Structure 1
Amino acid sequence: MSYFKKNLTIPNLLSVFRILLIPLFIYLYLERSAVDYGISAGVVLLISGATDMLDGYIARHFNQITQLGQILDPIADKLTQATVVICIAIMHQQNKFLIPLVLIFLAKEILMGIGSLVLLRRGARPTAALWFGKVATMVFYAVMLVIVFIPAMNDLAITILVAIVAAFMVFALIRYAMLFFQLLKATPKK
């Protein structure tokens, strides 16, 4: 079976579709001259989140897990999340509490990426997303959807929602860091 045929799976196509939705979300969300655009951006984000859940389900239940998919899916996730955080920070730039969320998100992703590379260099395989990572992602999407769908939300409400997302991100980062050090300890240096 050729590489192309082996990787031409529904989950991989859904991951590519999610990546292709990113420019559409940016355009619709930042071009907020009409209320319809904000709603349309929210619908695009909902579709992206739904296809994220669907691709994982299909991959596991129909044995369509591929190495390409294991790379594409997290890339689509992180690009989408980064796009949403940055777009919301741009649209609500008067709210200075969004800047720490952007920084926490970037720090979490960079640290987790470095941790994965360290484990791979040692011959260990980084773990798949665990319950605390999935909960943090679900909270992230729920809060971001609320902010996208309610463009006139006041700064206090946005700040509270952002603090909730940041708390879940930090919690997930701490739990993954603990797991990283356990795996690092159990894996001898090459």
Structure 2
Amino acid sequence: MNEDTPIRRQLFSIPNLMGYFRIILIPFIVWRYVTAETINDYYAAAVIIGISGITDFLDGFVARKFHMITKVGKALDPIADKLTQGAIVLALSFRFRWMIPLIILFIVKEGFMAIMGIVMLRRGKMLDGAKWFGKVCTAVLYVVMFILILFPQIPMGAANGMIALCGVLMLFSFVSYIPVFWKMAHDS
């Protein structure tokens, strides 16, 4: 299977089915966290996020290992990632008020990435995967979100420090992508 495989077959490839599964998990993550009353409820939310993360790793691994990389998968994977991240950040904002500025920055950054991705696609160009700064930002964001969910009794100062770190890395990633898109737009 490859990018030239008919869309119908691409839709139901194993890696893409894992991507759909990750999207289906989103409401369960949010519901379990927002309605949590006991430590076990928070642990359950963390387990669901862990399952989502493992599935995220596996879909990419399977796609590469078994030559199942598809156009659908290239679009689906980042969509599943961003929906999951956005939903978790939103859920955490119910408990940690400093998540609200992070939500705004997340929306601005991802909105910019989506708009520029569409503009470049219309010009026949495509970003060749996430850059290192985007990967670092995403990894730290996931670790922080996981810690904040797994340890609901974390001191607010520590939580705010981790949220601030995410904000700084997200801003750095956002600013670092601007010249990448600028170069893409001006290369022939």
Tell me if both proteins adopt one fold, taking TM over 0.5 as the criterion.
yes
Aligned twin of 2:91: 87
Partner Cα distance (1:156, 1:63) in 2 = 46
Partner Cα distance (1:118, 1:5) in 2 = 27
1:98 corresponds to which letter in structure 2? M
Q: Determine if the alignment matches structure 1 residue 51 to structure 2 residue 52.
A: no
Shift, 1:49, TM fit = 1.2
Write out per-residue CA displacement over residues 17-42 of structure 1, whole angstroms, 9 at most, x where no aligned residue.
Answer: 10011111111101111221100000
TM-score by length of 2: 0.92
Question: 1:1-190, aligned counterparts within 5 Å?
Answer: 3-92=7-96, 95=97, 97-187=98-188
Q: Is the 8 A contact 2:89 2:103 kept in 1?
A: yes
Relative to structure 1, the CA distance from residue 2 to residue 178 in structure 2 (aligned partners, 3 Å threshold; closer, same or farther) is: closer
1:61 corresponds to which letter in structure 2? K
Unaligned runs of 5+ in 2: none
Count of aligned residue pairs for this structure pair: 184
Relative to structure 1, the CA distance from residue 179 to residue 2 in structure 2 (aligned partners, 3 Å threshold; closer, same or farther) is: closer
RMSD value, Cα: 1.4
Partner Cα distance (1:72, 1:185) in 2 = 27
- % identical equivalent positions: 38
Relative to structure 1, the CA distance from residue 122 to residue 5 in structure 2 (aligned partners, 3 Å threshold; closer, same or farther) is: closer
Structure 1 segments of 4+ aligned residues over 6 angstroms from their partners: none
Write out per-residue CA displacement over residues 148-170 of structure 1, whole angstroms, 9 at most, x where no aligned residue.
Answer: 01111222111100011111111
1:135 corresponds to which letter in structure 2? V
TM-score by length of 1: 0.91
Partner Cα distance (2:31, 2:56) in 1 = 21
Unaligned runs of 5+ in 1: none
2:47 corresponds to which letter in structure 1? V
